[in-house]
């Protein structure tokens, strides 16, 4: 059997075995029996909410579950009361899902201000220059999807705070691999899909809304589970009513029936991550990334960003003049080394569970293919 290496957690994380087992059990022992056994699944979302709140150092009331990062971003972009002349700060070469929702606001007279990318990252002085008195919101990714540059969110929040601007964060390339305490870093909104670094199933993700900010989102959809008293009515406790109050917490945005199976998987993945401990995960991820960076540099390739403990992440991207990046990735994948090629860069993204042998195999195949 051919040896293989999986180094594409920035693209699609491997679903954790604990999540696979939990979801398989639900499929085999619950779903075929419908309502007779379905009630036992609802506790998974509550457990996942508490675990996510611990991971983010926030309250469970500030956490909602959404299908993906884009849904969370749109809750903010489509929900705020925009006025002509408002401005939004966005970042050059950010992932389109964190740019397009804001660019659509031009129909309301909202304008974008761009932070340029330099050497694969962003400079604090450029962020400061982009923020002005009309800035309503700064839309930033914690880690750039292509280069792996990790931005200083504390600095971004401080700069936005000078003019009273909100901060919305796309954390899909960091949550589950890098620390982020929302008790210390005062972002207003955050969204992240769970199918990358969290090791959860696709179609699950998180939306954070800081206490006091939910009421700013005027068009937040409220489904059946967004009302207090809905579960009781489902059980026949009380008369039918169309006057139920909306839930006070961020869970108000979760809508009606959700992916019960996916939520069971996410709860299991979060429990495993919590058992390992995020500090251990982060240390391992950064150590492997550093080793990969050193190896690709020694092989004659140019990393997309210079090594810097303050801005490193679990993503190491590189390019080289000797071979086309897309062609090189195709050849690596053909040799059973799974990496990806966003924005013309070879992207390598190990996780805590990546073995040393997988990194060895990647570096060996890279040398063989470019000799």
Query: Quick check: 292 and 362 in contact, CB under 8 A?
Result: yes
Please give the pLDDT value at position 243.
80
For residues 136 and 141, what is the distance between their CA atoms, to the nearest angstrom?
A: 17
Task: Let me know if domain 5-15+277-369 sits in CATH 3.90.1150.10.
Answer: yes
User: Dihedral, CA atoms, 296, 302, 304, 307, nearest 10 degrees?
Assistant: 70
pLDDT tens digit sequence for 212-268: 999 999 877 678 778 887 777 767 677 777 788 888 899 999 988 899 999 999 999
Please give the pLDDT value at position 227.
82
CATH placement of domain 17-275: 3.40.640.10
- DSSP symbol at 15: P
Domains of the chain, by residue range, sit at 5-15+277-369, 17-275
This model's pTM is above 0.75: yes
Query: Quick check: 206 and 180 in contact, CB under 8 A?
Result: no
C-alpha atoms less than 13 angstroms from C-alpha of 188 in its C-beta half-sphere: 26
Rounded to the nearest integer, the mean pLDDT of the chain is 95
């Amino acid at each position: 059997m051919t040896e293989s290496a999986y180094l594409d957690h920035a693209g699609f994380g491997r679903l954790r075995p604990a999540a696979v087992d939990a979801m398989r059990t639900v499929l085999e022992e619950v779903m075929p029996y419908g309502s007779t056994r379905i009630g036992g699944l609802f506790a998974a979302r509550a457990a996942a909410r508490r675990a996510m709140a611990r991971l983010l150092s926030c309250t469970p009331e500030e956490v909602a579950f959404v299908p993906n990062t884009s849904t969370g971003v749109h809750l903010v972009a489509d929900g705020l009361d925009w006025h002509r002349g408002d401005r939004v700060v966005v970042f050059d070469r950010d992932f389109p899902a964190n740019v397009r929702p804001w660019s659509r606001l031009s129909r309301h007279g909202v304008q974008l201000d761009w932070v340029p990318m330099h050497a694969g990252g962003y400079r604090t002085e450029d962020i400061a220059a982009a923020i002005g008195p009309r800035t309503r919101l700064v839309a930033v990714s914690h880690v750039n999807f292509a280069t792996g540059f990790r931005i200083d969110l504390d600095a971004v929040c401080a700069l936005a705070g000078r003019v009273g601007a909100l901060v919305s964060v796309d954390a899909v390339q960091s949550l589950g691999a890098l620390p982020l305490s929302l008790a210390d870093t005062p972002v207003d909104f955050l969204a992240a899909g769970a199918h990358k670094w969290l090791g959860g199933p696709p179609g699950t993700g998180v939306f954070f809304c800081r206490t006091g900010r939910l009421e700013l989102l005027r068009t937040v959809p409220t489904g059946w589970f967004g009302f207090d008293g809905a579960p009781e009515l489902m059980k026949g406790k009380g008369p039918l009513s169309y006057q139920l109050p909306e839930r006070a917490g961020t869970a108000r945005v979760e809508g009606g029936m959700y992916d019960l199976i996916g939520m069971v998987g996410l709860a299991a993945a979060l429990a495993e991550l919590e058992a390992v401990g995020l500090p251990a995960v982060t240390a391992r991820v950064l150590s492997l990334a550093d080793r990969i960076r050193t190896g690709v540099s020694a092989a004659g390739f140019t990393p997309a960003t210079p090594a810097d403990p303050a801005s490193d992440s679990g993503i190491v991207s590189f390019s080289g003049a000797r071979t086309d990046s897309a062609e090189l990735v195709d050849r690596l994948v053909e040799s059973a080394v799974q990496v990806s090629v966003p924005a013309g860069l070879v992207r390598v993204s190990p996780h805590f569970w990546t073995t040393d042998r997988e990194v060895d195999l990647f570096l060996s195949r890279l040398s063989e293919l470019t000799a």
